[in-house]
A and B are shown apart, each in its own frame.
Chain A
């Protein structure tokens, strides 16, 4: 080994060891833990621990609350992803117009909610969404619409949380879209304009092809993010009303740290991982195909 190789290993060893001990080992153990009946008795005395094979998984599949959590999570993703992409893309297109004043300032303002503390802004939105005194219902009733029991009605609890999530995070994808939009040459827009294309035709034929791969990638990354929703229901609804906002991660948390069924909770974690993995593989496959088409 040369002295440079020795130095290199010295440089990477601390990071690799930390990753191995605090990331790889726990993730692998999670799989093993999911094959045991680790519960509060095993927590007190390890001799109570038994291997039970796939029993946690079969029990999960028979647990209506688990399916409810899966259903809620999918609902969050199915409505949340298009909504947040539309908001991000809309804001990016507006901000990309040269005639908009103070663009750098708006860019920072739109992004600011993303860096705020999730728990604090969730508490804040709880009050904005309040049925009786909330500003949102005040706005609705003042234009003649009925007040909505946002967080108290199982049919509006998911949209209510989504309003908050989109407000908080649209700036992130907006910045990514803006960066890509700025790579579209002005000459292309100019040429299309000279050919008589209106704003919508220009969007469809010039802008959209340029940003399509990014839209796709961002949407699939967002799905993974929606699968990891936890603090929002924890703070805003505690999973309610009628368990309409229990997400998979929330279900895992309750199973693991409220009921101390760590074996079963690990099975939930692993199912979550498989879901995210499948989505990510899909992302890779799609981006590879798109990349193939372009070259």
Chain B
């Protein structure tokens, strides 16, 4: 190896260290006994690893409930988003109807409007129909996203028209074509979209913070934020909470990273 190459590899490894250190530290501290992390110099490895903080979180602080809420909401959000977005994305790509292109341009233009703008009226709307502090209220923003629609449409454009025409000649209805031909071809982008929505819902903070007012309905991020205001001194327990919150999404991402990265680049570079 030339000196320049060694330098390049060292540079990459240094960034890797900066990226990974906080996550490793989080896991390590979560296994320390109470008060151990509040020392100087900060210890990096637990002297006697313990799971007591995980136990305390689940037994005394109702962590199981928050994990359940997060899982249930992210799963429901994913299912609903696919149900609403996928047929529409396909229709915008492959079915001709009056005003299609104009409508699609309008939707793309609406992408510049951040959803947070509507937060307050949406809260009032849901309050007036009694959906504050319910799963339904928390799920509403995930029903349909313009970005998801766009993602599915871009991918569906690559389905050959001849394939759909052949099925029509054979007498298949539009619904049958969608189920038997379109859905199987769209599988990779469905995985991508599902992953985006699941992670998005799991990590979301502002909306669940507003709409889920009762502690028993909190998702992990909301519960963690509330817990950190009360228990700033309990570094070890807070880190255990952070591990519980981060680990599922990190594992999911690592398992499906190909789908995630491909979808992300399709949405940003080409779009």
User: Could you say which residues of chain B place their CB within 8 Å of the CB of A16?
Assistant: 88, 144
- Are the C-beta atoms of A257 and B210 separated by less than 8 Å? yes
User: Could you say which residues of chain A place their CB within 8 Å of the CB of B224?
Assistant: 117, 119-120, 123
> What bracket does the count of chain A residues touching chain B fall in?
35 or more
- Count of A-B contacts with CB under 8 A? 271
Does chain B have a CB within 8 A of A200?
no
Select the stretch in A68-76, A97-105, A202-210 that faces chain B: A97-105
- Are the C-beta atoms of B120 and A269 separated by less than 8 Å? yes
- Are the C-beta atoms of A134 and B118 separated by less than 8 Å? no
Q: For B114, give its contact among A11, A107, A112, A228 (CB under 8 Å).
A: A228
- Are the C-beta atoms of B96 and A8 separated by less than 8 Å? yes
- Are the C-beta atoms of B117 and A116 separated by less than 8 Å? no
Chain B interfacial positions (CB closer than 8 Å to A): 1-2, 4-5, 8-9, 11-12, 15-16, 18-23, 25-26, 29, 37-42, 83-85, 87-88, 90-92, 95-98, 100, 107, 110, 112-125, 140-141, 143-144, 146, 149, 173-175, 178, 199, 202-203, 205-206, 210, 220-222, 224-225, 228-229, 235, 238-239, 241-242, 245-246, 249-250, 253-254, 257, 260-261, 264-265, 268-269
Does chain B have a CB within 8 A of A272?
yes
Known: A5-B98, A123-B238. A234 touches B124 (CB 8 A): no
Does chain B have a CB within 8 A of A156?
no
CA distance A106 to B37 in the complex (A): 29
CA distance A27 to B221 in the complex (A): 26
CA distance A71 to B256 in the complex (A): 40
Within 8 A of B (CB), among A194-243: 214, 224, 228, 230-231, 234-235, 238
Within 8 A of B (CB), among A111-139: 111-113, 115-121, 123-128, 132-135, 138
CA distance A273 to B110 in the complex (A): 12
Task: Convert A252-288 into 0s and 1s, putting 1 for each residue whose CB lies closer than 8 angstroms to a CB of B.
Answer: 1100110000100110011011001100100000000
Listed A/B pairs (15) with beta-carbon separation below 8 Å:
A11-B90, A11-B174, A12-B91, A14-B88, A14-B144, A15-B144, A18-B84, A19-B144, A27-B117, A110-B19, A116-B203, A117-B220, A120-B224, A176-B268, A280-B112
User: Could you say which residues of chain A place their CB within 8 Å of the CB of B16?
Assistant: 106, 109-110
Q: For B269, give its contact among A110, A112, A176 (CB under 8 Å).
A: A176
CA distance A99 to B97 in the complex (A): 52
Does chain B have a CB within 8 A of A249?
yes
Main secondary structure, interface of B, reads helix
- Are the C-beta atoms of A123 and B242 separated by less than 8 Å? yes
In angstroms, how far is the closest chain B Cβ from the Cβ of A260?
10
Does chain B have a CB within 8 A of A53?
no
Does chain B have a CB within 8 A of A4?
yes
User: Could you say which residues of chain B place their CB within 8 Å of the CB of A238?
Assistant: 229
- Are the C-beta atoms of A100 and B221 separated by less than 8 Å? no
- Are the C-beta atoms of A22 and B141 separated by less than 8 Å? yes
- Are the C-beta atoms of B8 and A29 separated by less than 8 Å? no
Does chain B have a CB within 8 A of A35?
no
CA distance A108 to B41 in the complex (A): 31
Does chain B have a CB within 8 A of A180?
yes
Q: B228 — nearest CB in chain A belongs to which residue?
A: A123
CA distance A269 to B118 in the complex (A): 8
Q: B15 — nearest CB in chain A belongs to which residue?
A: A91
CA distance A22 to B141 in the complex (A): 7
Q: For A134, give its contact among B42, B92, B261 (CB under 8 Å).
A: B42
User: Could you say which residues of chain A place their CB within 8 Å of the CB of B221?
Assistant: 117-120, 231
CA distance A128 to B26 in the complex (A): 9
- Are the C-beta atoms of B114 and A273 separated by less than 8 Å? yes
CA distance A103 to B11 in the complex (A): 13
Q: A102 — nearest CB in chain B belongs to which residue?
A: B12
In angstroms, how far is the closest chain A Cβ from the Cβ of B52?
18
Does chain B have a CB within 8 A of A60?
no
Within 8 A of B (CB), among A1-27: 3-5, 7-12, 14-16, 18-19, 22-27
- Are the C-beta atoms of A121 and B246 separated by less than 8 Å? yes
